[in-house]
A and B are shown apart, each in its own frame.
Chain A
Amino acid sequence: MHAPARLGLRILRRRPLRSALTIAGIAIGVALVFAALSVDAAAQSGARGYAAQLDGRSDLVVRAFGEGTLSPQSLSAISSTTGVLGTSPQVRRTTFAWSVAPGGIVATRSLGALTVVGVDPEADRAFHDESVVAGAALTAADDGGVVLAEPWASAHGLAVGSRISLMGGGGERTLAVRGVLAASGPALADGGRLAYVTITTARALFALPTGAVDVVEVRVDPAVGVAAVETRLETRLSSEPYLLSTTADDAAALSGASRDIGSGLLLVAAVVLFVGALLVSDALAMSVAERSREVALLRSAGATRGQVHAMVVVEALGMAVAGTAAGIVLGAVMATALVPLVASISDAPVSGAPLDPGALVVAVLLGVLVPVVAALGPAWRAGRVAPVEALRGSALRPRPNGGIGRSAVEGAAASVTGTTVLILGAALTGASSPSGAAPIAGGPAATFLAAVVVALAVLLLVLIAGLVAPAVLRVAGAVVGLAALPLRRSLGAEMRLARGSLAHDPARISVAFAALAVGLGLVVALAGIADGMRRAGEAWIADVAPADYAVVAISPVPDSFGADLAAVSGVSTVTPLRLFDVAIAGRRASAVAVDPGAYARLGALTVVDGSRDAAFAALQAGGAALVPRSVADRFGLRVGDSLGLRTASGEESLRVAAVVAHGVPGAAGESVVVSQSDASRLGISGVSMFLVVAKPGASSALSAALSDVADRYALSVVRPSSIGGAVTGALDRTFGLLDALAVAAVIIAVLSMLDVLLMDVRQRVGELGLLRAVGLTRAQAWRAVVLEAAIVGLAGSVAACVLGVLGATAVLGLGTTAGIQLAVPWAPVGLALLIGLVGAVLVSVYPARLAARVDIARALRAE
């Protein structure tokens, strides 16, 4: 090895703690990137695998629209289409099941909701390979039998020979369990809550006409191609509304949720990388500044510029290699821990080894490249140190680090390199998947653009941080000074020293400040976005379903059930709603049928365009609809326009009576509001949800009493906020996960602060010795360092809160059409302030101890 390279490595060993800090920073960054990419890859492959298992050999799926069915004519039209190799018709509906005791005839125990799948066993076998673990497979003639899926069956103590009872529109039917399927293939759907019966049994159960089907799986001749068959089907199926999807669509939809998480992870990883790059570049800059005298000596002893460059780069490379190795191990551990978390959030199972080769390559590349790029500036500067500087030696300490602009450019260069590699890597690893699902959509051009934008944003952020840092630090100093006012007499000296030390090297302090502001800012922003979205969801629900409880049915129930709910003591009003699918201009949308009088009395809906009274009067009069703003925007509707609604059994043209701020969340977005009588002309009857308002001061037992009644009719009692997934726990969990990861950025920022403080104490040993000689006590030295950290911590976390709230506002403002009002998320803001302050103070304890323990005699000699 060359001499300068050896020197570079020696330097690492000479300052073990500070080297360890930088290595830890690199390791955390690499770990997060590796974990994020790996989990993302696992989620993607899990979704693909899951979709492949569900779809079996089908290429296309035709589904009946809404609650309608497809007729035998449609089925034969599908079968006879050129390019269709085979079809498998199904009846597929959700209902409730009860278990029936052996020998008994009465259903005894509720098994909860279940998807009944009526199949033609012969046709089904051509599409799916099912593996029977007990009993036998379903046969075409077996009208009294049912086949269940493994985990669910055993969870409910059901085995071959058990009997279950299913409730449908055609009454109740008791079936005997003939076989149990392994949890694979199509039996994975709906979490295995499946009951396979013959299609004839299913039609009878749900009182469907002969030959009616809900779903047709289609196998396509590869020579013709899916797209060609799709177009042919579109011309041939004109008599009934339907939905057509390819299995690729299904896979994409399934992986959608996990892809959102993946992009979130990447965003967090990019910010962590940014903060990490700042730390590395700052650490190297400090290390070079500290050694300028030594470098000068080397130069005067004959070291070439190239050798000095090599020394610094090798120092960086040494840390990079150590950090990357540690990061990969840490990342693998993190990924393993994250997989179940992400699985709990996404719809599809997350599978695959937590070690993704593509992710490994990107992480290693980042871990090595970022520190080396960060080393270039300092290396260049080290090369410029003139040999004569060795002889001067008149400075009390190494010269300050240079301007803020330089720090910004160097930090930004490193983090931009990192971010670019990350984005490109993510795009490439994503693109290598068959479905072409890149975490960042839009191809190489958009990816490059994103990298450039990130680059500029990073540069801007650091420059701004550098510019505002002195002012912010002064203000924070004053605030800390004010807080210490009662102690002023005794803290005066410490405050003066802390502030002096902050003023000494603003560029370096700015970097710690910027890192803290960005890291904590991300935490605040994520929490703020989650908070804003949750509150928007709550506001939305409060507007469209202003009730205490929602009693929800899986499939529509008679209006008369409402009377039983109203009879529960403590109930004030019960308002029925009927959610259904409609087609507007050939596109799927949601609608809700209401009793206009009752719904109006609830105080529901905010009319944004027209008067509320007039709107409800029009609804009552019939032939009118109230359209949510999002739907109006989507279809270009205005008050007075006519709106064509189509269902499986009819078509109606209604007048738009008003535009409302929000509609009830339905399966296809916010619902158009129509009256029950207009809905019945569309073939829609029954109730899918009762909104229950409690009497003032109703007892807490109301929920239990409602549940008792609801259970009888297989209804469930929920909080209105959970309607249609408007306010979901998944949202909170997703953001919670991202927030937890964002803490990595804070950890790195705090490490960087530790580095700065250590460097500071080290550089000022002489000064500390002098101060101690003239009467600074150990306690005072300790307090001066802690105060310095507290000031930076306070300034950094205040800036983080501002940055975070601004960021959250921007995201919420841009992201949605729903009017989200932003409020300052006080809890995260408070937490951020606390973390910043406490983190900074904790981290300062060790450097403060070093400062207090300076050996005066030796410090004075060292000068």
Chain B
Amino acid sequence: MRPILEARDLTKTYRTGEGEVEALRGVSLTVEPGEFVALMGPSGSGKTTLLQLLGGLDRPSSGEVVLDGIPVSSLDDDRATRLRREKTGFVFQAFNLVPLLSARENVALPFLLAGADPASGEFRDRVDDALRLVDLAAKAERRPSQLAFGEQQRVAIARAIAGRPAILFADEPTGNLDYSTGLEILQYLYRSCAERGQTIVLVTHDAQAGAFADRVLFLRDGRVLEEIGIGRRVEHPARPLIERLALLGE
């Protein structure tokens, strides 16, 4: 099967006032359709940078990202934007929602941006479907400010999956949540993967979250240090992963 996402020799160098920061120093990876992959690593190891390159939010200094057969890194801004709109979904750590729009409108945002009428049949069904998946159909008309933080993150997940993207990227989606709410969010992500075959790339520094993945890529200093296969399970115990990570000095 053709991988849904492929990265070859990615490097990223940031220029700052004091000099250059090599955030990524040659990362290659592949993600198969339906896979749930976690990117882990200490703070500053380049997780967010890598995710942004994979999702077409930024361009690598060298190397290539191929998403669903399309070379992302060489696209112009408009095409990259459309690619994101059509083939990706994003969930960030915080501020995932446009405060002026209701939960439903936030979920429908990709359709609205595509020039579709989100209130019309097919799109409406997709939005409702996504809201149901995160159990928020009842609060669809609320503004983000009227939702709990965990609920806001669920709306973000609904938006990310509503467009049936080829791949969903999440960067520390539980970073601002308490333990049990965080688990809930991970359950929802897992559910979309298990029930609908949604491909997911999750960035986290939390082993409990990483344990939900089929496979963990461990980064340090801008390189993939280790690949840890976990496999699909109904339960997601964190201990085996923590033990593996301990061996890496974490």
Contact, CB under 8 Å: B85 / A775: yes
Q: Are B57 and A773 in contact (CB under 8 A)?
A: yes
Distance to closest chain A CB from B74 (angstroms): 17
The binding surface of chain A is classed by DSSP as helix
List chain B residues, Cβ under 8 A from A397: 99
Contact: B101 with A500, CB < 8 Å? yes
Q: Flag if B113 contacts A770 (CB, 8 Å).
A: no
Interface centre among B81, B93, B117, B159, by most chain A C-beta atoms within 10 angstroms, is B81
Name 14 extra pairs, CB < 8 A, besides A396-B95, A496-B105, A774-B84: A397-B99, A496-B112, A504-B99, A770-B95, A771-B109, A774-B85, A774-B89, A774-B109, A775-B114, A776-B81, A778-B78, A778-B81, A857-B57, A863-B95
> CB distance B57 to A767 under 8 Å?
no
| A775–B48 touching, CB < 8 Å | no
- The answer to whether A154 has its CB under 8 Å from any CB of chain B is no
Question: Is A778 within 8 A of B77, CB to CB?
Answer: yes
| B interface footprint on A733-775 (CB within 8 Å = 1, 0 otherwise) | 0000000000000000000000000000000001100111111
| Contact partners of A773 in chain B: CB under 8 A | 55, 57, 84, 90, 92
Asked if B100 and A856 make an inter-chain contact with CB atoms under 8 angstroms apart, the answer reads no
**Please, which residues of chain A bring their CB within 8 A of the CB of B55?**
773
Most chain B Cβ neighbours within 10 Å, of A766, A774, A779, A863: A774
- Cβ < 8 Å to B, chain A residues 771-787: 771-780
**Is B115 a contact of A493 with CB atoms below 8 Å?**
yes
> Quick one: closest A residue to B84, CB to CB?
A775
Give the complex CA separation of A706 and B85 in angstroms: 79
- Decide: A860 near B92, CB < 8 A? Known: A496-B112, A774-B159, A775-B81: yes
CB distance from A154 to the nearest CB of B (A): 71
How far is A856 from B85 in the complex, measured between Cα atoms in Å?
14
Residues of A within 8 A of B93 (CB): 863
Q: Bound state CA distance, A396 and B96, in angstroms? A: 10
- Beta-carbon contact of B82 and A766 below 8 Å: no
In the complex, are the beta carbons of A770 and B92 less than 8 A apart? yes
Closest 5 CB pairs of A and B: A775-B85, A500-B100, A857-B58, A775-B113, A863-B95
Check if B45 is an interface residue, CB within 8 A of chain A. no
Q: Name B77's closest neighbour in chain A (CB-CB).
A: A778
Residue of B nearest to A766 (CB): B95
> Nearest Cβ distance between residue B203 and chain A, in whole angstroms?
12
Asked whether, in the complex, the Cβ of A493 is within 8 Å of the Cβ of B98, the reply is no
* Closest B residue to A778 using CB positions: B77
A779 to B113 alpha-carbon distance, docked (Å): 11
| B98 and A771 contacting across the interface, CB-CB below 8 Å | yes
Q: Is B94 an interface residue (CB 8 A)?
A: yes
| A501 at the binding interface (Cβ < 8 Å) | yes
Q: How far is the CA of A397 from the CA of B97 in the complex (A)?
A: 12
Q: Which of the listed residues A767, A770, A773 has the most CB atoms from chain B within 10 Å of its own CB?
A: A773
Given contacts A490-B115, A501-B100, A773-B84, contact A860 B57 (CB under 8 A): yes
Q: Which residues of B contact A587 (CB under 8 A)?
A: none
CA distance A258 to B58 in the complex (A): 65
- Whether A712 sits at the interface, judged by CB under 8 Å, is no
In this complex, the member of B58, B82, B86 whose beta carbon has the largest number of chain A beta carbons within 10 angstroms is B58
> Which of A504, A767, A770 gathers the greatest number of chain B CB atoms within 10 Å?
A770
In the complex, whether A392 has a CB less than 8 A from a CB of chain B is no
Question: In the complex, which residues of chain B have a beta carbon less than 8 angstroms from the beta carbon of A496?
Answer: 101, 105, 112
For the complex, is A861 an interface residue (Cβ under 8 Å from B)?
A: yes
Interface assignment of A492: CB less than 8 Å from any CB of chain B: yes
* A–B pairs, 6, beta carbons within 8 Å: A493-B113, A856-B52, A856-B58, A857-B52, A857-B57, A861-B48
Are the C-beta atoms of B98 and A500 separated by less than 8 Å? yes
A581 CB, nearest partner CB in chain B, Å = 73
A-contact 0/1 string along B98-130, CB 8 Å cutoff: 111100010001101111010000000000000
Q: Could you say which residues of chain B place their CB within 8 Å of the CB of A777? A: 77-78, 81-82, 113
* A-chain residues with CB within 8 Å of residue B100 when the two chains form the complex: 500-501, 503-504
* Nearest residue, chain B, Cβ from A491: B115
Count A interface residues, CB 8 Å: 29
Chain A contacts of B114 at CB under 8 A? 775
Q: How far is the CA of A780 from the CA of B97 in the complex (A)?
A: 18
Q: Is A14 an interface residue (CB 8 A)?
A: no
Q: How far is the CA of A772 from the CA of B58 in the complex (A)?
A: 11
Please report which residues of chain A, range 468-522, place their CB below 8 angstroms from some CB of chain B when the two chains form the complex: 489-490, 492-493, 496, 500-501, 503-504
Residue in B closest to A489 when the chains form the complex, CB atoms: B115
Which chain A residue has the least Cβ–Cβ distance from B105? A496
CB of A770 within 8 A of CB of B96, answer yes
- Closest B residue to A780 by beta carbon equals B113
Interface residues on B, range: 20 to 34
Binding site for A on B (CB under 8 A): 48, 52, 55, 57-58, 77-78, 81-82, 84-86, 89-90, 92-101, 105, 109-110, 112-115, 117, 159
With a CB–CB cut-off of 8 A, which chain A residues contact B86?
Answer: 775
Shortest A531–chain B CB gap in Å is: 43
Contact partners of A857 in chain B: CB under 8 A:
52, 57-58
Query: B115 — which chain A residues lie within 8 A by C-beta?
Result: 489-490, 492-493
Q: Can you name the residue of chain B whose Cβ is closest to the Cβ of A396? A: B95
Give Cα distance in the complex from A863 to B112, angstroms: 24
What residues of A have a CB within 8 angstroms of the CB of B96 in the complex?
Answer: 770
Q: How distant is A27 from chain B, measured CB to nearest CB, in Å?
A: 33
Given the complex of chains A and B, what is the CA–CA distance between A778 and B80 in angstroms? 11
B55, B99, B100, B101: residue with the most chain A Cβ atoms closer than 10 Å: B100
Residue of A nearest to B112 (CB): A493
How distant is B72 from chain A, measured CB to nearest CB, in Å? 13
Asked if A767 and B98 sit within 8 Å, CB to CB, the answer is yes
Please pick, from A490, A767, A776, A780, the residue contacting B99 in the complex, using a CB distance under 8 A. Answer: A767
- Chain A residue numbers with a CB within 8 Å of B99 are 396-397, 504, 767
Give chain B residues whose Cβ lies under 8 Å from the Cβ of A767. Answer: 95, 98-99
A777 CA / B109 CA spacing, docked (Å): 13
Interface centre among A766, A777, A861 (most CB of B within 10 A): A777
Q: How far is the CB of A698 from chain B (nearest CB, A)?
A: 64
Closest Cβ–Cβ distance, residue A695 to chain B (whole Å): 67
A206 to B165, CA, bound (A): 104
> In the assembly, what is the distance between CA of A492 and CA of B105, in Å?
13
Set of chain B residues within 8 Å of A863, measured between Cβ atoms: 92-95
CB of A492 within 8 A of CB of B112, answer yes
Q: A856–B55 Cα gap in the complex (Å)?
A: 11
- Cβ–Cβ < 8 Å partners of A860 in chain B: 52, 57, 92
Q: Which residues of chain A are near B89, meaning CB under 8 Å?
A: 774
Q: In the complex, what distance in Å separates the CA atom of A861 from the CA atom of B172?
A: 12
* Whole-angstrom CA separation of A691 from B86 in the bound complex: 81
CB of A168, distance to nearest CB on chain B (Å): 84
Identify the closest chain B residue to A500 (Cβ).
B100
B97 to chain A: which residues have CB within 8 Å?
Answer: 770
Please indicate which of the listed interface residues A493, A771, A778 has the most CB atoms of chain B within 10 Å of its own CB: A493
Q: Which chain A positions have C-beta within 8 A of B48?
A: 861
Assembled-state Cα–Cα distance A777/B112 (Å):
12
Quick one: which of B77, B95, B113, B117 contacts A774, CB cutoff 8 A?
B113
**A-chain residues with CB within 8 Å of residue B90 when the two chains form the complex:** 773-774
Residues of chain B within 8 A (CB-CB) of A492 are 112, 115, 117
A516 CA to B117 CA in the complex, in Å?
34
Bound together, the chains give a CA A389 to CA B85 distance in angstroms of 36
Q: Give the residue name and chain of the A residue nearest to B109 (CB).
A: A774
**Bound: A544/B97 CA distance, A:** 72
Q: Which of B57, B58, B113 contacts A776 (CB 8 A)?
A: B113
The complex places the Cα of A489 from the Cα of B112 at a distance, in Å, of 9
Instruction: Give min CB distance, B95 to chain A, whole Å.
Output: 5
CA distance A490 to B77 in the complex (A): 18
A774 to B57, CA, bound (A): 10
CA distance A496 to B81 in the complex (A): 19
Residues from chain A with Cβ under 8 Å of B82 in the complex:
775, 777
- The answer for the CA separation of A492 and B116 in the assembled complex, in Å, is 8
Nearest CB of chain B from residue A783's CB, rounded to whole Å: 12
Smallest distance from the beta carbon of A48 to chain B beta carbons, Å?
A: 62
Contacts of A503 in B (CB 8 A): 100
B contact residues around A504 at 8 Å (CB):
99-100
User: CB-nearest residue of chain A relative to B100?
Assistant: A500
